[in-house]
Structure formats: C-alpha cells, structure tokens
Amino acid sequence: MNGRWLVAMSGGVDSSVAAALLARAGHEVVGVTMDLGSGSDSAVGGSKRCCGLPDADDAREVAARLGIRHYTANYRAEFAREVIEPFAAEYAAGRTPIPCIACNRVLKFDLLLRRADALGARGVATGHYARLAPAPDGRPGLFRPRDRAKDQTYFLFDLARAALDRIAFPLGELEKSEVRALARELGLATAEKPESQGICFVPDGDVRGALARLDPRRPRPRGPIKTRDGRVLGEHPGAIGFTPGQRHGLGLGGGPWYVAEVRPGENTLVVACEAELRTRAVRVERASWLDGAAPDGPVRAAVRYRHRSVSARVEPGGDGGAWLRFEEPVWAPAPGQAAVVWDAADERLLGGGWIAAAG
Amino acid sequence: MPRSWPRPGPPTAPLGGPGVLCGRAAPQRGRPASLCARAMTQIYLDHNASAPLRPEALHALCDAAAHCFGNASSAHALGAAARAALSRARRQVATLAGVASETLVFTSGATESNNTVLRQLPDGAHVVTAATEHPSVLEELSAAGERGVRTTRLPVGRDGRVDPARFAAALDEPGTALASVAFANHETGAIQPIAELSAIAAAKGVRFHCDAAQALGKLPLELARLPVDSASFSAHKLGGPKGVGALYLRPGVAFVPLHRGGAHERARRAGTENVPGIAGFGAACEAARLELEPGARRLGELRDRLWAGISRAVPDAVRNGGPEHVLAHVLDVSFPGASGETLVEALDLDGIALSTGAACHSGSTEPSPVLLAMGVPEALARAALRFSLGPVTTRAEIERVLEVLPAVVARVRRARAA
C-alpha cells in the first residue's frame, strides 16, 4: 500500500491534515499547491507573480513541518479556461453554475492525476470530506463522510470511475473537530486557520461583483421583473447573476417573491411565490454515473449543495440526460446546478447530472 | 479571508527527527534540526540559482559574526577589527574581479547593484541592453520607462550572444546614456563579448555597465583593464552568503548613492556594514580564485560528459546555447514533449535538484524569456532544464543523473501525452 502520493494542498487545515495522515501512514507524500490565479491569493486577473502566494506559503510551511516535498503548480490558464470562463458564460446564459465540480473533475482529478503519473506517484489525495470504500460490485465506491456537516460528495458526482482507483480522501472517517485537533497536536501552522467559504474566486459570495470583474464588457441593462403571467412588478438591476429561489436584491413589495427563472434573452427576471417553486421532477443533461449506467431502483437525490436529499427515481432519457422524479417536492432547482444522486441508504454516491429544467 | 490566526510556537523542525543544517558544508553540532534537513541528500545542480556556502566562507562568516561585532565606524579596537575584516574582504573580492579595492562598494547583492546603476539614468535617456538580461536589469528598465527612459532590448543569436554590429548601431540612437550587458547569462551561461562591446561603447562615449554576477569566480576577470564603467557582483553565486554583493565603480564615474545616512562605503552606500556577510563574501572569492582554472576545467569535462550522455540517451534533446562561449559549468537542454516544470519536480523526487531557468520563473508555466530571445521556439522553451554544476559536483553524481534522467524524461512525456 505504501507508495508516493500527491496531496493537493490548498494551504488550509483540511488538506494539511490529509497530507499529515498519509505521511504518518508511511507514504511518501508530495504536496502540490495549485496556483489558480484566484482565491484568497490574488485578485482574478491579477499579477503574474510565482513567488510568495500566501496560501502556498502556508502549505509549504506545513510540508516542511511534515518533512515532505512541496511544489506550486501553475494551472492558471487551465483554471481560467475550464472553470472561470464557463462560470461567466453560464451566468450569461441565465444558468447558475457550480464551478467547484468542474474544478474537481478537470483540475484535481485529471490534471493533477496526470502530474502524479509524471512524478511516478500512485495517485492524488485531497482534503475533501468524502469516503472511499468498496461498492457492492467490489470496485471502489464513493461514500458520504463520517462528518455529515462537511460532506463534499455533492461536488464529486462528475468524477470518472477510473479516477477512483487513484484517489485518496484521508479525512473521510474524521470529524472536522478531530481534524483541527490533529493539526494542533502536530503543530501545523494552519491548525487555527479560518475556513474558506464558497467559491474561491468569488470573494464574500458577491457573485454579481465577481461577474462584473470577470466579464466586464457584457452590458447589464436594467429590465423588468415579471410574474409568470406577464405582470410587471418592478425593475431589476441587470438579470445576470440572479438564481432561482433568490429573494434578496429584488426590491419588490408584497410577496414574498422569489426568482423563478432568469431569461437573459428577454432581459427579464421571472418571479413566483414560494409554492410555485416546488417541483417533483427535474431534467438533467450530461449525466454521469459512477457505475456506468443510471440507477434503476429508488435513490436519494438533491438539487443543491447542502439541500436535504429526497427519495427519488431516475429515468434515463436520450442524449445522455435523465429525468429525476422526487417523492416529495424539491425547492427551486436551478439550471446549471447539479442534481446529485446517492443510493437508497443515502450513503453511496451514484452520480448525477446538470439541471437543464425543472419539470 | 483574514491572513492572521494563532500559529503554533517555535518548533520548526520536521517531525521526522533531527537533521543537519542546510548546505553540504554545514557542520552538525547537535543544533536544532533544520527545515532543510530532508533536502540534504540531493545532487545539487542548481549553482546558478545559489551555490552552497564554501567552508572557507562559512568559517569567515561565523568568525566575523562571533568576534567582529563592533560597528566598523567605531573608534575602539572592536570597531577597528570590523574595519579590518571589511578591508580584507574588499581586497579578496577586488583581486578576483581584477579591480582596485577602493573601486568596490559592498551592497546587498547584484540586484541592488544593478538597480543602483540604472537609477542613475537621467529622465528620457536611452539605454541599450540585451533581451536576455537578468530581471534586476530588465524590470528596473521597464519601471524607468515611466520617467521616459527608453530601452532597446537587443535580440541575441542562437548562441545567446549579442551581435556587436547591432549593438554599435543601437548606441547611435540620440540620447543613449548607458549600455548594460551581462558578462555571462544566468540561464544558458552564454558569455558575451564584453571586451568588444565595452570598447564600442567607450568609443561612442556611452557608459557601459556589466552584470557580472554569474561570471565572478567562474571566469578570469580583469575588469579594470576593460572600458567597463560599473559592474555588479553577488556573493552567493560563488559560494558566499546570501544578501551580500558588490558594485564596481570605475574611478571617476559619476555616482549618486541610493542609500543615505552615513559615510559608509566612502559615502556611496550608507548603512552599517554587514561585516559577517562581507567577510564570507571575501573568503568565498579567495577560495574561488585559488581553484578558478582547474575548477573550470574539471566542471567543463563533467558538463561535456553530461551532455554526451544526455544526447545519447535522449537523442531528440536540444542544447540551448554553446558549445562555444559558454560557462564551463552550465548546460541548458530542452526535452521536446516534456514540461520543464514537471521534469524539475520529478527529478527533485529522485534526488536531483535543478531549475528550468531563472529561479523566480520556476514554478510558472511562462516560457523562459532568455530562451525565447535566442529564437528557441516556445514549446522547446517550456521544455528546458538548466544544469549548473559547482565545486561540490562529482563525476559519480553526473553518472547518477545520467542513470535517472532518461527514465524520468520518458515518464513525464508519457504522462503528458495521456
């Protein structure tokens, strides 16, 4: 089992402890911090500096403490092309993207895996909260972690099953509090480092501000806020950046009103009351199933990160898509977000797809 | 995200247990383990980035730190001892550079020396330099652009050298105040025709600056015999300590100091002198001088053995620069189809430390500007490794590199193709 492992070290406490655990288990650990040109290290589109990224410095300090190698890998171009540009394009098309999933699939579990090949490593480990264990067919399966509050399996639905053979999630059996305690015990510099929240290139969760920076030349004209039956209730400050289910930022009286639909073509926000946003079906496209085929029995599914999963069934549809039919209504599924599916026991990740429309 | 949070206290040693200090020459005396302990088994082929401290330099540095703690400006015996240490070091550096002692100003390194010279430029002046210069020249000149300083960055040939005829023509632009060309290139080791270039500049009445950071201690220098007006040196490139260097100023050259606040360095660089660092610099220069020619011969043979082995094992490898007019200890090679950045990491994991080129470009996927300026295609510039040997390099290490390298190159190429 011992061998060389690449650990994606963000400079946070989770990946620091992931590296420490693998090193303690006798593996030769190589820390890699991906320089993505964003996040807390630098403003998007910022400097070309390659030295002195603060998060990379934290990771390097932890690596020195652990006595492991550490490198900073420049993936700025790939990140811009595969993650940031699609993010802006999705919003511009009226959808609500979730860039962390593409980042996992393309950056961490494809490019980094190739780097692992180049460096003669067995695979890539990360500080994700998820668990790897054998699936019923004996092949590697992806399971929810012990710390349910930190569960990140939602973000991993799009991984290729072949990648699972070469991935490790050392934190899968730990509570976050235990991770911090371990970091303290090992004297890691990141033990008390605050949690990073949300999307790394969207500081403070300000999507509209980030979009204005990422896509500055796109006009953002004001436009009408309408109900489904065409009544104009008010004016929005530019439709791009709103997401279904959103209530804040509309400036409407009465209601309460929620965004139901973003129609960039008509520069219109469609709003609805809460009950109208509940639905029992969503259509997904570009579905990805870890077992190679859509599950045909009862499953659990969620349409947003941190939403409670709901009993559902999957009906495969043409063109690599599927319908998800829920036993109870789900709230405001947003095109562009992921609908993610677990087994009926709500433990094993089965896959999912990208929401195309609510049924 | 906030950048501060409670950090653990002093322990800095790796969890793996006690190690030794950074640098092969460093003694182990039961001191606390160092962060660099694990890196000690490396074959070190990155001397152009920084050379391990020579034992003589370590001794002089420690001795001065322990005993010459007086301020060299003080009148008492301890001040005099520090002054004496400075004088000796100045003579040692001057001898190696082939200049008179009193023409040297100690600085924090070649970057400061280069910056200081370029800050002398009057607003709106024109400067001629090579596109392959070190960033401490090129970036300073870019910044000087804001005050109207115009820069001609001369292209170089595939050998990395400036064409004297083009150089002469560029100097004819009105307002040309300075030419700045490095003696030897930091990435490729290409040696410029400094005697010829400086003579051309002198004939045209243009001041000539030479960044000699990579040449000092590697080539016999007699700078005082050339019409070179100023030159920069760095201690750590030849086995002295980091944070020390020198600036040569030909007598009579106009100079405005960058640092003010005292008569140190004959009022050319104020600030209490870094006596231990300077003493280490001097000792490193003396040691380098004593082995200069046999050392270069030995390293040249090792370097040629390395290139012969590489070109046999990896037939499509391309040598950048050379074989003539290149420092004996430097070999720059592109491995088509392999990323230089990944090769550096893969070789590091196999115990071989080297760089893609200039240190601050490592870890970035920007292709080397030096190689691009030589006309190396971008794909090959991204696939380059710089081997820079030094006094500690052994034949056995070169053979070991030749054992490891072909398999690493093949693996990195395979992974990239996947």
Taking an 8 Å cut-off on Cβ atoms, the answer to whether A192 and B414 are in contact is no
> Are B378 and B372 contacting, i.e. CB atoms less than 8 angstroms apart?
yes
> Does residue A236 sit in the same domain as residue A328?
no
Q: Tell me whether residue A225 is in a domain.
A: yes
> Residue A289 is which amino acid?
W
Q: Tell me whether residue A338 is in a domain.
A: yes
Residue B366 pLDDT exceeds 80 = no
> Does residue A34 sit in the same domain as residue A149?
yes
Whose tokens are 């809460």? That residue is A274
Calculate the average pLDDT of chain B: 90
Over the range B304-316, which residues count as b (16 or more CB within 10 Å of their CB) and which as e?
Answer: eebbebbeeebee
**DSSP one-letter string for B307-336:** HHHHHHHSTT-EE-S-SSSB-TTEEEEE-T
> Does residue A225 sit in the same domain as residue A326?
no
> Does residue A199 sit in the same domain as residue A134?
yes
Q: What's the confidence (pLDDT) of residue B13?
A: 56
> Are A276 and A228 contacting, i.e. CB atoms less than 8 angstroms apart?
yes
> Does residue A268 sit in the same domain as residue A286?
no
Q: Report helix, strand or coil for A29.
A: strand
In B, residues 28-57, which contact A (CB 8 Å cutoff)? 35, 37-38
Q: What is the DSSP letter of A305?
A: T
> Does residue A229 sit in the same domain as residue A267?
yes
Q: What's the confidence (pLDDT) of residue A215?
A: 85
What is the distance, to the nearest Å, from the Cα of residue B21 to the centroid of all Cα atoms in its chain? 23
Domain edge (last residue) among A239, A257, A272: A272
> Are A255 and A227 contacting, i.e. CB atoms less than 8 angstroms apart?
no
Confidence of residue B244 (pLDDT cuts 50, 70, 90): very high
Mean of pLDDT values over A240-266? 89
When comparing pLDDT for A254 and B402, which is higher? Answer: B402
Task: Please report, for the domain that includes residue A252, its CATH number.
Answer: 2.30.30.280
Calculate the average pLDDT of chain A: 91
d(CA B164, CA B161): 9
Mean of pLDDT values over A110-125? 95
- How big is the CA angle at B404 (ends B398 and B408), to the nearest 5 degrees? 135
What are the C-alpha distances in Å from B361 to residues A285, B355, B365?
42, 9, 8
> Are B200 and B148 contacting, i.e. CB atoms less than 8 angstroms apart?
no
Residue A261 pLDDT exceeds 60 = yes
* Number of domains chain A is built from: 3
> Are B179 and B206 contacting, i.e. CB atoms less than 8 angstroms apart?
yes
> Are A47 and A23 contacting, i.e. CB atoms less than 8 angstroms apart?
no
> Does residue A334 sit in the same domain as residue A316?
yes
Q: Give the number of other CB atoms < 10 A from CB of residue B42.
A: 17
> Are B108 and B346 contacting, i.e. CB atoms less than 8 angstroms apart?
no
Taking an 8 Å cut-off on Cβ atoms, the answer to whether B415 and A51 are in contact is no
Domain with A284 in it: 278-358
Phi, psi values for residue B164, rounded to 5°: -55, -35
Domain edge (last residue) among A143, A177, A203: A203
Q: What's the confidence (pLDDT) of residue B18?
A: 41
In terms of Cα–Cα distance, which of B343, B348, B280 is closest to B317? Answer: B343
Cβ of A212 under 8 Å from any chain B Cβ?
Answer: no
Range(s) for CATH 3.90.1150.10 in chain B?
Answer: 292-417
Confidence of residue A252 (pLDDT cuts 50, 70, 90): confident
Confidence of residue B31 (pLDDT cuts 50, 70, 90): very low
Q: Which residues contact B323 (CB under 8 A, 6 or more apart)?
A: none
Mean of pLDDT values over B157-176? 97
> Does residue A41 sit in the same domain as residue A23?
yes
* Orientation of helix B55-67 relative to helix B77-97, angle to 10°: 160
Q: Given B36, B62, B210, B360, which residue is catalytic? A: B360
B242–chain A nearest CA distance, Å = 18
Percent of residues, chain B, with pLDDT higher than 70: 89
Q: What's the confidence (pLDDT) of residue A66?
A: 94
Which tokens is A128 given?
Answer: 């994700």
Percent of residues, chain A, with pLDDT higher than 90: 74
> Are A141 and A132 contacting, i.e. CB atoms less than 8 angstroms apart?
yes
B336–chain A nearest CA distance, Å = 15
In terms of Cα–Cα distance, which of B30, B27, B51, B6 is closest to B241? Answer: B51
Taking an 8 Å cut-off on Cβ atoms, the answer to whether B346 and A120 are in contact is yes
Any bridge partners for residue A274, and if so which?
none
Give the model confidence (pLDDT) of A137-173 as tens digits: 899 999 999 999 999 999 999 998 889 999 999 999 9
What would the CATH number be for the domain defined by B62-289?
3.40.640.10
A116–chain B nearest CA distance, Å = 8
Cβ of A186 under 8 Å from any chain B Cβ?
Answer: yes
Give the model confidence (pLDDT) of A184-214 as tens digits: 999 999 999 988 878 888 888 889 889 999 8
Range(s) for CATH 3.40.640.10 in chain B?
Answer: 62-289
Give the model confidence (pLDDT) of A62-106 as tens digits: 999 999 999 998 898 899 999 999 999 999 999 999 999 999 999
**DSSP one-letter string for A50-70:** -S--HHHHHHHHHHHHHT-EE
Show residues of chain B in contact with A54, CB under 8 Å.
3
Phi, psi values for residue A35, rounded to 5°: -90, 105
Residue A299 pLDDT exceeds 50 = yes
Q: Tell me whether residue A211 is in a domain.
A: no
Residue B418 pLDDT exceeds 70 = no
**A50 belongs to the catalytic site:** no
> Does residue A162 sit in the same domain as residue A103?
yes
d(CA A249, CA A261): 15
d(CA B239, CA B281): 8
Taking an 8 Å cut-off on Cβ atoms, the answer to whether B361 and A119 are in contact is no
Cβ of B163 under 8 Å from any chain A Cβ?
Answer: no
Confidence of residue B2 (pLDDT cuts 50, 70, 90): low
| Weakest-pLDDT range from A157-171, B375-389, B404-418 | B404-418
**B36 belongs to the catalytic site:** no
Q: Tell me whether residue A214 is in a domain.
A: no
Q: What's the confidence (pLDDT) of residue A248?
A: 86
Whose tokens are 């077992």? That residue is A291
Show residues of chain B in contact with A52, CB under 8 Å.
none
Give the model confidence (pLDDT) of B257-275 as tens digits: 988 888 899 889 999 999 9
Taking an 8 Å cut-off on Cβ atoms, the answer to whether B363 and A73 are in contact is yes
Show residues of chain A in contact with B346, CB under 8 Å.
118-120
> Are A131 and A146 contacting, i.e. CB atoms less than 8 angstroms apart?
yes
Q: What's the confidence (pLDDT) of residue B279?
A: 97
d(CA B373, CA B153): 10
> The domain B292-417 is classified under which CATH number: 3.90.1150.10, 3.30.210.10, 3.40.50.720, 3.40.640.10?
3.90.1150.10
Q: What's the confidence (pLDDT) of residue B320?
A: 96
> Are B314 and B268 contacting, i.e. CB atoms less than 8 angstroms apart?
no
> Does residue A168 sit in the same domain as residue A225?
no
Give the model confidence (pLDDT) of B56-112 as tens digits: 999 999 999 999 899 999 999 999 999 999 999 999 999 999 999 999 999 999 999
> Does residue A65 sit in the same domain as residue A187?
yes
Cβ of A200 under 8 Å from any chain B Cβ?
Answer: no
Phi, psi values for residue A118, rounded to 5°: -60, -35
Mean of pLDDT values over A315-340? 93
Mean of pLDDT values over B127-134? 97
Taking an 8 Å cut-off on Cβ atoms, the answer to whether A65 and B15 are in contact is yes
d(CA A170, CA A127): 7
Show residues of chain A in contact with B138, CB under 8 Å.
none
Confidence of residue B3 (pLDDT cuts 50, 70, 90): low
> Does residue A68 sit in the same domain as residue A149?
yes
Q: Tell me whether residue A229 is in a domain.
A: yes
Task: Please report, for the domain that includes residue A301, its CATH number.
Answer: 2.40.30.10
| Helical segments of B68-156, H only | 77-97, 110-118, 135-144
Show residues of chain A in contact with B38, CB under 8 Å.
67, 69
- How big is the CA angle at B13 (ends A62 and B364), to the nearest 5 degrees? 40
Tell me the pTM: 0.87
Percent of residues, chain B, with pLDDT higher than 90: 83
Taking an 8 Å cut-off on Cβ atoms, the answer to whether B15 and A66 are in contact is yes
Helices (runs of H) and strands (runs of E) counted in chain A: 9, 17
In terms of Cα–Cα distance, which of B37, B45, B41 is closest to B17? Answer: B37
